[in-house]
A and B are shown apart, each in its own frame.
Chain A
Amino acid sequence: MNFAILIPASIFFALLLTIGFYLKNRERHNRSVDFSKEYFIGGRRLNGFVLAMSLVAGYSSVSSFVGGPGIAWQVGFAWVLFASVQIVAAYLILGLLGKKMAVIARKIDAITIIDLIRFRYNSNLLANLCALVILIFFITRMIAQFIGGAQIFAAVTGMNYTTGLLFFAVVVVVYTSIGGFNTVAITDTLCAIMMLIGMAFLTYTIFDRGHGLAAIMQTIHNVSGTAGNAEMFSPTAGGKIPVPLLISQWILCGIGTVGLPQSAVRCISYKDTRSVHRAMIIGTIVCGAMMIGMPLLGVLAHGVITEPLSEIGKTTDAIIPMLIAGYMNPWLAGITIIGPLAATLSTISSLLITGSSAVVKDIYLFYAKDKDSAKSQKNISRISMTVTAVMGMIPVILAISPPDVIVWINLFAFGGLETAFFWILLFGFFWHKANSQGAVLSLVGGLAAYCVTMALGIKIASFHNIVIGIGTGLILFILGSLLTKEPTDKVKRIFFPELY
């Protein structure tokens, strides 16, 4: 094991922890006035740059940095095309929902997405269902991130899996639970910067070790279409990524990202309209660079790693760790490894703080009696930090030897969250007839349709099941809303003042 490779990551971890403790201290006053607002949405103070970076970092996960590029290595340029639909992931949610959520959240003093949903649909049943969905899918997604992060950490440093896992898991759980949302946003920003730096070093290494683009492309030409590799120059990888799958991808990783609650929460935490305008542009620049850049690097890595898959451990997940561990000097490798770890950390911290807000704010505080006294601010503070820490530790413990069922549920998590929240958010803010009956039907029915067809392997052509989930959700929502009563005037005056 090489210790030099661990030094940059250790410094980075120490920095993240310092930020957590520093911001906690700086927010002391604000926290004593309104703890939840400070801890769960950072007092609505995010500027454009931090908003953009934390949105993108929270979105891009270990699979954008390790899993995806590995598959690209095998499938070829079609995978770059497949991943490039995510170009809309940063601006679409901000552009469609960003301002409305910000305006209404201030009007009704909403701290969480579920606060907004509860008010809009005037339904505690719906709010509780939403909290439950967030809880289940966030925890399984966190476990998957912990597993992925620990694996790459182990692969690159030679550390044992469990030690590596605990090493960075403790860091992220501590700084998130101590520091709250502002810490998550600032550390996410640093994480995004480290991801970009890691990408730059990977680019340099690939071009240097592959002897330039011409030589790399020649190598790819030679392996394209041979056993184990697809038609690497075809936009469908010679039919391996059929057109219906590409259409589904536009829903799953493109338009559907509007329904991700961990992204939506950013819409109620920024400072002013200038911030959200700037964030749409910066976010798209950074998101595009990562989502197109990383798989492209994965394909070009073929110029460096030419062995067939069977000789490198049979899994394409090994490609990026191999590049870092095998083809870089220890210092460069030490800095580059922060990239994928940062992708993991930022996703976990975003999920953790949003998940914890669902438990504390949407379930505990909502059903608790005494909310106002100064004494209870202290109480809320203690409970919030404890819940966040516990919620962080559960996935860590489960990740040590992950039960199969968790890995299995994680397959549903991304699409499941979108199926549940996409129409609730979109119709909630843009269709005045949308009501709680429609929303509950859509959430339950859409999710059921999605999960059951996924689990049983039922498919329509080669469409991804997200199409079934979102489609079912849409139909049920419209039917449910049209057949029952419209929302009350009180709700409509706040959400749709243009009607009056």
Chain B
Amino acid sequence: MKNLSYKEKFVQMNREARVICIVTAVIIAFWWLTAFGINEYITLFYLPLWLIVSCIGTYVLAVVLLIFAIKKFFVDFSLDEDAPEKEQNSK
């Protein structure tokens, strides 16, 4: 767990929100591309291929991306306690 000041928490949370936006953008792009970019008549295990890739594929992609994003970019910190501000308020 990282010891962050109130201000640092917000800098970190804004970064995390940006990561979530990127993850969502990738998910949406993948969904549209696979739903309409695959020939309707190709099948796999009797099911339409577009369905497998766009629905189940997006589902798997979302979970994998989230696990990766959270491991890599999300930080654990205390929700209650704030570390003292490191620098003097400059304004």
Interface string of B46-58 (1 = CB under 8 A from A): 1110110011101
Q: Which residue of A lies closest to B21 (CB)?
A: A96
Q: Does B20 contact A92, Cβ atoms closer than 8 Å?
A: yes
Q: Which A residues fall within an 8 A CB radius of B? A: 77, 80-81, 84-85, 87-88, 91-92, 95-96, 99-100, 102-103, 106-107, 213-214, 217, 233-235, 250, 254-255, 272-274, 277, 280-281, 284-285, 288, 292, 296, 430, 496-498, 500
CA gap between A81 and B23 in the complex, in Å: 19
Q: Does A214 contact B46, Cβ atoms closer than 8 Å?
A: yes
Q: Which B residues fall within an 8 A CB radius of A? A: 1, 6-7, 9-11, 13-14, 16-17, 19-21, 23-24, 27-28, 31, 35-36, 40-41, 45-48, 50-51, 54-56, 58-59, 62-63, 66-67, 70, 74-80, 89, 91
Identify which of B6, B51, B67 contacts A80 (C-beta below 8 A): B51
11 pairs from A and B in contact (CB 8 Å cutoff) = A77-B47, A84-B55, A92-B20, A99-B79, A103-B9, A213-B46, A272-B78, A273-B74, A281-B66, A284-B66, A430-B14
Closest CB pairs A-B (n = 4): A95-B20, A217-B46, A288-B59, A497-B7
CA gap between A106 and B77 in the complex, in Å: 14
Chain B residues with CB under 8 A of A95: 16-17, 19-20, 23
Q: How far is the CB of A400 from chain B (nearest CB, A)?
A: 39
Q: How far is the CB of B53 from chain A (nearest CB, A)?
A: 11
Chain B residues with CB under 8 A of A234: 40
CA gap between A255 and B24 in the complex, in Å: 9
Q: Does B13 contact A100, Cβ atoms closer than 8 Å?
A: yes
Q: Does B7 contact A498, Cβ atoms closer than 8 Å?
A: yes
Q: Does B36 contact A235, Cβ atoms closer than 8 Å?
A: yes
Q: Does B76 contact A81, Cβ atoms closer than 8 Å?
A: no
Identify which of B7, B66, B78 contacts A91 (C-beta below 8 A): B66
Chain B residues with CB under 8 A of A92: 20, 24
Q: A233-B40, A235-B35 are in contact. Are A285 and B28 (CB under 8 A)?
A: no
Chain A residues with CB under 8 A of B9: 99, 103
Q: Does B89 contact A285, Cβ atoms closer than 8 Å?
A: no
Q: Which residue of A lies closest to B57 (CB)?
A: A84
CA gap between A86 and B10 in the complex, in Å: 28
CA gap between A246 and B36 in the complex, in Å: 12
CA gap between A99 and B74 in the complex, in Å: 11
Q: Which residue of A lies closest to B11 (CB)?
A: A498
Q: A100-B13, A102-B79, A288-B62 are in contact. Are A280 and B70 (CB under 8 A)?
A: yes
Chain A residues with CB under 8 A of B41: 233
Q: Does B50 contact A235, Cβ atoms closer than 8 Å?
A: yes
Q: Does B17 contact A274, Cβ atoms closer than 8 Å?
A: no
Q: Which residue of B lies closest to A85 (CB)?
A: B31
Identify which of B17, B62, B79 contacts A87 (C-beta below 8 A): B62
